Amino acid sequence: MRIRILITLSVLFTILWGSSCRKDFDYTASNGHLSFSKDTVYLDTVFTNIGSSTYTLKVYNDTKDDIIIPSITLRNGTESFYRLNVDGVAGNSFTDIPIYAKDSLFVLIETTIDITDNSVNELLYTDAIQFNNEPNLQSVELVTLAKDAVFLFANKNTERIDLYDDETGNPIQIEGFNIPNENLNFTKGKSYVIYGYAMVPEDKELVIDAGARVHFHQNSGILVKNKATLTINGELSDSNKLLEGEVIFEGDRLEPEFASIPGQWGAIWISAGSINNTINHLTIKNAALGLFVEGKVNESEISLDISNSRIYNSSRYNLWANNAKIEAENIVLGGSGSSSLFIENGGAYSFTHATIANYWNKGFRFNPAVAISNTTSNNNGFGLDLVKADFKNCIIDGNIQNEISLQSNNENSLNYTFQNCFIKFNKNQSSIIDSSLYEFDNVTHYSNIITNGSLDYYFPYENDFRIGLNSEIINKGDVNSANFTPLDILGITRIPQPDLGAFQAKDNEF
């Protein structure tokens, strides 16, 4: 009986094994009837010598037969700038690839393109994945735009510097290198790609021309040293989409999926003791900390004069000012993971026609759009006085209940004024510590304040804070203040009836 059971099990095992095994003669050669998820794979723009993201092509066998693809190759062969991975195997040429009936396989595609012609700034590179040979040849085209760039990175001499403290009080350290003299003028001819922190040396000036594009690798940025100067000469653009006159700072990943990911790179740090820093028509996006400006105690010089500029989608702050002196006109501080504007440790500030609106939608946000704190002392024990924080014809708004926070230790001077401003504020909220700081009928600090109503933004969650004709803030600006900034950030006249914020109202344009 036992022998019969063993024989029976052996026969069953043989039958099952034979039915489950696929042998080469079970497959039919592909005859040109494959189908693909895409006819052309467009690999998004990359910088020369920087690898792309990985893209996927799916290959389908829609027939009732198990087939073998005799060959999968790149048209440009071993000289191709593309790399393939077919069902987990890397290479640029493959033979006898099986696909079961009604099944599919994945082809992964990457590229790193080298532009060797110095006279060419852009190269449209093409190739194709070829399946089989004539007469059954099928192809899927590959297309990538590669851009040449000026790469700035440390060679030998670097400095380790504490940038600022993180949320837990630990210093953020950076690796910095001095920008060579021959690279102290960024032009619009080629993009600039920075690895690490590019430092403007003492007694030197970094000048960035209109239309320049600067891209930062992870944990990279610009540091303006003591006695150094940053000058950004952006210009008004004809197109609000192309921004051809704008200077743009962003990450070095050009694929669309990275277009709105915060925290891709570090910060622009204007350190204490730097001089004559000016910024006009600059866009900073997707940084960890957009702009960090430091000043010195009892320093009379302006730390930064900034106008017609936008900073948004920073994972921490868009603009962090530490005992600085800033003059700002026509600026937009959009969504950020913490405050859009954070002022601490005294200083002197003037904001005219600023839109500070934090519609952060990439996680929880607990800090208001504008936070002003004057609660600490310097190393000598003396208070760091806030000489002034003046806001004229501004918007302070966002997607939480209270979008302004004022904190004082009742020892340091805290001088602030808001004139003709929209301030989103709910005085009944329990988290308010000192309600006396928010007495909007106190003419010493406030005049003509609006605290509610529709602002009719175009697309606030996309950091587009242009306002439509149904906005509550139309014609609510002070004309005398507007006379110092008669054109809005897009060059539209706001005189004689100025609206609040950086944008003058227009019909919605979609």
Which pLDDT tens digit goes with each residue over 276-321?
999 999 999 999 999 999 998 877 789 999 999 999 999 999 999 9
Exposed, middle or buried: residue 139 (CB in 10 Å: 0-12, 13-18, 19+)? middle
Total-model pTM: 0.88
Of residues 250 and 16, more confidence is placed in 250
Which token pair is 100?
């079961």
Which pLDDT score is estimated for 24?
45
* Three-state SS at 18: helix
Of 475, 473, 508, 509, whose CA–CA distance to 494 is shortest? 475
pLDDT at 20 over 50: no
The helix/strand/coil state of 241 is: coil
With DSSP H G I counted as helix, E B as strand and the rest as coil, what are the percentages for the chain, rounded to 5? Answer: 10, 45, 45
Please give the Cα distance from 77 to 350 (Å, whole number).
61
Structure letter (DSSP) for residue 240: T
The dotted CATH code for 26-145 is: 2.60.40.10
Domain ranges of the chain: 26-145, 148-482
What are the tens digits of pLDDT across the range 225-282?
999 999 999 999 999 888 999 999 999 999 999 999 999 999 999 999 999 999 999 9
pLDDT tops 60 at residue 131: yes
Query: What's at 13, amino acid-wise?
Result: F
How would you label 340-356 residue by residue, b for 16+ Cβ within 10 Å and e otherwise?
A: bbbbbbbbbbbbbbbbb
463: left (phi over 0), alpha (psi -120 to 50) or beta: left
CA distance 270 to 206: 12
164 pLDDT band, cuts 50/70/90, is confident
As a whole number of angstroms, the distance between CA 118 and CA 145 comes to 16
Closest by CA to 373, choosing from 362, 355, 386, is 386
Distance CA 145, CA 47 (A): 9
